[in-house]
Amino acid sequence: MLTALILFGIAAAGGLLLAYLRVTNKPLPMPIALLHGGVAATGLVLLAVAALGAGGPDRARLALGLFVLAALGGFVLFAFYLQKKQLPMGIMVVHALVAVTAFLILLGAVISAA
């Protein structure tokens, strides 16, 4: 779970950069968007293995569910990006809030497991 937490932290840094660029109406670089999604997806797979395996903590499963919802929002945002449309601020904010909530829940699970 710790590796997933670290990967989600890295993905969050990329997400913050993308959000800053969007808010300031600057172009969103494809490599950063792909890195953000790829690192988050890797974290999601690792978290799924840990949370759904034997004895996975309930908080880890809750975080997993929330990260899946955040990923769905990310797919919607990426679809807008591929269509060269401006990312909807509402979806972007909800995506971020759900991901941050999931991150904090996972952080609590990692701390309590230590």
Q: How many domains does the chain have?
A: 1
Residue 31 has pLDDT above 90, yes or no: yes
- Which 3-state string (H, E, C) describes 35-72? HHHHHHHHHHHHHHHHHHCCCCCHHHHHHHHHHHHHHH
Q: Which residues span the domain enclosing 14?
A: 2-113
Token digits of residue 101 = 């909530």
Higher pLDDT, 56 or 2: 2
b/e per residue, 45-76, with b = 16+ CB within 10 A? ebbbebbeeeebbebbbbbbebbebbbebbeb
Rounded to whole angstroms, how far apart are CA atoms 66 and 109?
A: 14
Q: Tell me the per-residue pLDDT of 82-110, one tens digit each, with 9 for 90 and over.
A: 999 999 999 999 999 999 999 999 999 99
